[in-house]
Amino acid sequence: MLAKRIIPCLDIKDGRTVKGINFINLREAGDPVELGQAYSEQGADELVYLDITASFEGRKTFTDLVKRVAAHISIPFTVGGGIHELNDVDRLLNAGADKVSINSSAIKNPQLIDEIAKHFGNQVCVVAIDAKQMPDGWKCFLNGGRVETDKELFSWAKEVSERGAGEILFTSMDHDGVKTGFANEALCQLSSMLSIPIIASGGAGTKEHFRDAFIKGKADAALAASVFHFGEIQISELKQYLCKEGIQIRL
């Protein structure tokens, strides 16, 4: 049976790992390749590296990092951040990334999803969606959660799926960094209405939160950062726990 995936996410700035609390106030958490290797040995199923550097120079540093990750790590990894056109995707895949994650550029230029899917296959294209529950429903945000858009979460998720996204990485901005659990209701709705895998992101604080994301949220994978980086939850222990809870897990 297909296993539910546990995915540590590493935010990278100038070649180092950082993690924001509610997308602001960055705090450093170590060497990205070493961290990735450690996670892989603990049983992480995939890794996500998000480049939050904006400069051209930083982008080159990130590409070099992708090469180092590919050279040292024998599990799949996704890279995101600063991907605006097909050439960026080509560059990162050629550096050794398995998938790319696009967010703001997908909202600004939805056609990019179609292009990535056509050139590299659907499975390469992860569309990340940052959304927040507003009085008039779930709204999608741009630029790391700084700019509100008129896109509604569920209709946008449906559109990216139809355009050829292979997976959706859904972050609830209200839950992100506050460690009170994932946005399970919205997750469940996404997972039930779409035929592509949904990765839950934002809100992991305890092992039970992961269980709930898989059972209540029907997520295919769960992503977290700080609980892993700061050793609050060990991936190996988390996977043992989930297995005991009857969830299909690769041990």
Partner 1 sequence: MKVAIIKYNAGNVYSVYYALKRLGIEAELTDDKNILSTADKVIFPGVGEAQTTMQYLRTRQLDQLIQSLKQPVLGICLGMQLMCRHSEEGNAEGLNVFPTDVLLFKPNNNEKVPHMGWNTINPTDDPLMKGIQASDYVYFVHSYYVPMCPYTIAQTDYVQPFSAALHKDNFYATQFHPEKSGKIGEQILENFLNLQI
Per the annotation, the verdict on 176 as an active-site residue is no
CA 70 centroid distance within chain: 18
Per the annotation, the verdict on 11 as an active-site residue is yes
Q: How far is CA 82 from CA 55, 74, 129, 155, in A?
A: 9, 25, 15, 24
Choose, by CB under 8 A, the member of 36, 166, 177, 217 that binds partner 1.
166
48 contacts: CB under 8 Å, gap ≥ 6: 7, 8, 9, 10, 77, 78, 79, 80, 101, 169, 223
Query: Which 133-162 positions form the footprint of partner 1 (CB under 8 A)?
Result: none
Q: Which stretch binds partner 1 (CB under 8 A): 112-120, 136-144, 207-215, 233-241?
A: 112-120
Q: Tell me the number of residues near partner 1 by CB under 8 A.
A: 39
Give the Cα separation of 230 and 193 in Å (integer). Answer: 35
Residue 18: φ, ψ to 5°: -135, 165
CB nearer to partner 1: pick between 74 and 111: 74
Burial environment of residue 111 by CB neighbours within 10 A (0 to 12, 13 to 18, 19 or more)? exposed
Give the shortest CB-247-to-partner 1 separation in angstroms.
13
Could you give the string, one character per residue 186-225, with x where binding to partner 1 holds by CB under 8 A and - elsewhere? ---------xxx----------------------xx----
Choose, by CB under 8 A, the member of 56, 74, 135, 231 that binds partner 1.
74
Give the Cα separation of 58 and 90 in Å (integer). Answer: 18
Q: By the 8 A CB rule, do 166 and 127 touch?
A: no
Element (H, E) at 64: helix 56-72
Three-state secondary structure call for residue 6: strand
Choose, by CB under 8 A, the member of 71, 87, 135, 150 that binds partner 1.
71
Choose, by CB under 8 A, the member of 48, 124, 153, 235 that binds partner 1.
124
CB nearer to partner 1: pick between 40 and 189: 40
Q: Which stretch binds partner 1 (CB under 8 A): 79-87, 113-121, 202-210, 232-240?
A: 113-121
Three-state secondary structure call for residue 79: strand
Choose, by CB under 8 A, the member of 14, 31, 90, 174 that binds partner 1.
90
Catalytic residue chosen out of the listed positions 88, 130, 176, 220: 130
Residues that bind partner 1 (CB under 8 A): 1-5, 40, 45-46, 70-72, 74-76, 89-90, 93-99, 117-124, 166-167, 195-197, 220-221, 250
* Active site amino acids: 11, 130
